[in-house]
Amino acid sequence: MTPLLILLFGIHPSTAVGTDLLYAAGTKTVGSAVHGWARGIHWPAVMRLGCGSIPASVLTLIVLHQLDLKSEAEGSLVSLVLCFALLLTAISLIFRKSIMDRYRHRLEGIPPRTTAIATVLIGAVLGVLVSISSVGAGAVGATALLMLYPRLPMASIVGTDIAHAVPLTLVAGAGHWAVGTIDWGLMSVLLMGSLPGIVIGSYGATRVPEAVLRLTLASVLIAVAGKLAFEALNLSSAVTALAWGN
């Protein structure tokens, strides 16, 4: 959503991130309720992720508050972090099975305390990524949960990932609201369009092979990340040249 808002509609990167965060908080709340009703959420993992992600998000937002998020230079910074998060998500989608095959069995025997600490640390990383780019709590979070909790069924992994994203996106979105990087009109339009989009997407997802969906999405993410990086680097060069000229 965030790169589409930036590349197709020309929304400033910080505004796109903030708007997408609050939009995601609303949609993921519904998804979390559904998974919770079906008892598909591992709440200890949610709490551990939140213990890392929420403080990290708050600290990140404090740093962002000290910056001029609406300036071109800071827009370039957000775009570059977004590129990194998109590429990390694409890698998680493409190589998830290979990662699982290589490391999952090694992690099955680690002590519960180590698992808990690792979960908090992963949450902190996700908190920083999501607060700056709005990306990372999906495929990246799910891959981390698969490695740390190999005995959980996939439905619980998905439910846990979504449940953790609710408070994280809400806190991060509220922080962007505080610094004035939310477009409420845009968010209302996104929410209106999400209802038929969910129906169409759900209908198509059940009829397309899972591997095709993953590779298609990963390819789109890589292409978008490259486009964002190209524009951000060009903008940074222009800002630097202007600064030297002055």
**Given its phi and psi angles, is residue 134 left (phi above 0), alpha (psi -120 to 50 degrees) or beta?**
left
Q: Report how far residue 54's alpha carbon sits from residue 47's, in angstroms, rounded to the nearest whole number.
A: 10
134-191 pLDDT per residue, tens: 887 777 888 888 888 888 887 888 889 989 999 999 999 999 898 888 899 988 888 8
In whole numbers, what is the pLDDT of the chain averaged over residues? 81
User: Which of 60-64, 74-78, 184-188 has the lowest average pLDDT?
Assistant: 74-78
| Cα–Cα nearest to 57, from 159, 133, 151 | 133
Q: Which of 56-60, 103-107, 114-118, 236-240 has the lowest mean pLDDT?
A: 236-240
Backbone angles phi, psi at 133, to 5 degrees: -120, -15
Domain boundaries, the chain: 2-236
Query: Which sign does the torsion angle of CA 137, 129, 10, 94 carry?
Result: negative
Mean pLDDT of 209-221: 79
- Least confident range of 89-103, 145-159, 192-206, 214-228: 192-206
Tokens, residue 227: 């486009």
Is 128 within 8 Å of 17 (Cβ atoms)? no
* Number of Cα atoms under 13 Å in the Cβ half of residue 55: 9
How large is the average pLDDT for residues 7-22?
Answer: 87
pLDDT on residue 230: 75
Predicted confidence (pLDDT) per residue in 88-140, tens digit = 888 887 887 787 777 766 666 788 899 999 999 999 999 999 998 888 777 78
Of 60, 73, 42, which is closest to residue 156 (Cα–Cα)?
42
* End-to-end Cα spacing for the chain: 37
Percent of the chain with pLDDT over 70: 85
What per-residue confidence (pLDDT) applies to 242?
Answer: 44
Q: Return the percentage of the chain with pLDDT > 90, whole number.
A: 20
Cut 0.75: pTM above it: yes
Is the pLDDT reported for residue 81 higher than 50?
yes
Q: Are 225 and 87 in contact (CB under 8 A)?
A: yes
139-148 and 43-66 helices, crossing angle to 10°: 140
Torsion sign (Cα): 189, 195, 199, 202: positive
d(CA 7, CA 46): 33
More confidently predicted of 131 and 231: 131
Q: Are 41 and 159 in contact (CB under 8 A)?
A: yes
